[in-house]
Amino acid sequence: MIPPDHPRYRSLVIRELLAENVKKGIVSLEGLTAQGRGEAFDYFIGERTTASAILAEKTAAALLLTARHPVISVNGNAAALAAYEIAALQKASGALVEVNLFHRTEERVHLIEDLLRSAGSDIFSGPAERLLPLSHDRAWCRREGMFSADVILVPLEDGDRCEALVTMGKTVIAVDLNPLSRTSRRATLTIVDELTRALPNISEACRTITRSEREELKSSLDNNYLLSEAIREMTMRLSHALD
Q: Residues in the site for a copy of itself, rule: CB under 8 A?
A: 1-3, 5-8, 12, 15-16, 18-19, 22, 29-30, 32-41, 43, 135-136, 158-160, 178-180, 182, 228, 231-232, 234-235, 238-239, 241-242
Q: How far is the CB of 221 from a copy of itself (least distance, A)?
A: 19
| Strand ranges, E, within 54-130 | 70-74, 96-99, 129-130
Between 18 and 198, whose beta carbon lies closer to a copy of itself? 18
Q: How far is the CB of 107 from a copy of itself (least distance, A)?
A: 17
Residue 176 and residue 174: Cα distance in Å, rounded? 6
Q: How far is the CB of 26 from a copy of itself (least distance, A)?
A: 13
Give the CA-trace dihedral at 77, 80, 83, 89, to 10 degrees: -20
22 Cβ contact list (under 8 Å, min separation 6): 28, 29, 31, 32
Q: Do 97 and 123 touch, CB atoms closer than 8 A? A: yes
Q: How far is the CB of 106 from a copy of itself (least distance, A)?
A: 17
Between 179 and 200, whose beta carbon lies closer to a copy of itself? 179
Round to the nearest angstrom and report the end-to-end CA distance of the chain.
37
Between 29 and 68, whose beta carbon lies closer to a copy of itself? 29
Between 45 and 87, whose beta carbon lies closer to a copy of itself? 45
Between 121 and 183, whose beta carbon lies closer to a copy of itself? 183
Residue 222 and residue 190: Cα distance in Å, rounded? 10
Q: How far is the CB of 70 from a copy of itself (least distance, A)?
A: 28
